[in-house]
Amino acid sequence: MYIIIAGGREIGYYLAKSLIADKHEVLVIEKDIDRYNLFSKELGESIFYGNCCEVPTLKSIGAGRADWLIAVTGLDQENLVICQMAKLLFMVPKTLAVIYDPKNEKLFESLGVDIVVNTTSLISVQIGHKLNMGALIPLLTVQNLVVVEADIDESSPAVNQKVKDLQLPPDTILIAAIRREEAVMLKGDTTILPDDKIVAITLRDKEEDLKKVF
């Protein structure tokens, strides 16, 4: 596949390296001359010096035959317009935009970007994991549906309780416990133990109630 990465920066550089290792044809467009010089030592022919927000640049690198355009410049509005131009003028079948303002996620999808990657919420989830604050950790969100992880410690009110005895909020299902690195599917008579990581599915507005259970 021919994959264009618009906007080099660190993310473009590392993404390019892994895609090249997977035998894809990759071209990174970098507009900062210093970063271009730095990255071209390793990426060689796979990096192009130019401004990816300009249509002639996209044309000169053969955007018309690209399978993917991945926009990873540091600005949401740039990533939006690059993806739209790729679709509109070069019929690129698949576009992906990285965003920093979480409010843009749905907007960009509705404006024709195929995949929107919300880095801010990804980073928040990661930090949540590292801090392990006892709160629910969101694993996956689909509309108002969320898959969350709850880390159980000794002080949790759920410890040593059976699943069927927990006062769960409505529209909530406990799926599994990760116990000593193994998944245990939860049934009504399964007992919650300390150090369990409970994977649950719930609705976004029920998260606060679910938090109280653990």
Partner 1 sequence: MKAVILGCGRVGSLLASLLSENGWQVAVVDSDPESFAGLSKGFSGVRVNGRITDDDTLRLAGLESADVVVVLTSDDLSNLMAGQVALHRFGRHKVLVRVRDPIKAKAYRELGIQTICPTDLELELVRRELGVQPKR
What residues between 41 and 70 interact with partner 1 by CB under 8 A? 53-56
Q: Does 71 bind partner 1 (CB under 8 A)?
A: no
Q: Does 151 bind partner 1 (CB under 8 A)?
A: no
Distance, in Å, from the CA atom of 61 to the CA atom of 48, rounded to the nearest integer, reads 8
User: Nearest to residue 169, comparing CAs of 195, 141, 202?
Assistant: 202
Distance, in Å, from the CA atom of 213 to the CA atom of 156, rounded to the nearest integer, reads 8
- State which of residues 6, 70, 80, 98 lies at the interface with partner 1 (CB under 8 A): 80
Q: Does 158 bind partner 1 (CB under 8 A)?
A: no
Q: Does 91 bind partner 1 (CB under 8 A)?
A: no
Q: Does 77 bind partner 1 (CB under 8 A)?
A: yes
CB of 12 to partner 1, least distance (A): 18
Distance, in Å, from the CA atom of 64 to the CA atom of 80, rounded to the nearest integer, reads 18
- State which of residues 85, 116, 136, 137 lies at the interface with partner 1 (CB under 8 A): 85
Distance, in Å, from the CA atom of 18 to the CA atom of 202, rounded to the nearest integer, reads 35
Number of other residues whose CB lies within 10 A of the CB of residue 24:
15
CB of 78 to partner 1, least distance (A): 5
**What 3-state class would DSSP assign to 202?**
strand
Distance, in Å, from the CA atom of 87 to the CA atom of 94, rounded to the nearest integer, reads 8
CB of 84 to partner 1, least distance (A): 8
Task: Between 111 and 139, name the residue whose CB sits nearer to partner 1.
Answer: 111
What residues between 95 and 114 interact with partner 1 by CB under 8 A? 101, 103, 107, 110-111
What residues between 109 and 138 interact with partner 1 by CB under 8 A? 110-111
Give the E-state strand segments of the chain in sequence order.
2-6, 25-30, 47-49, 68-71, 94-99, 115-118, 137-142, 145-151, 173-179, 182-185, 197-203
CB of 48 to partner 1, least distance (A): 19
Task: Between 111 and 135, name the residue whose CB sits nearer to partner 1.
Answer: 111
Q: Does 81 bind partner 1 (CB under 8 A)?
A: yes
Sheet holding 145-151, edge to edge: 137-142, 145-151, 197-203, 173-179, 182-185
Q: Does 76 bind partner 1 (CB under 8 A)?
A: yes
Q: Residues interacting with partner 1, by CB under 8 A?
A: 53-56, 75-78, 80-81, 84-85, 88-89, 101, 103, 107, 110-111
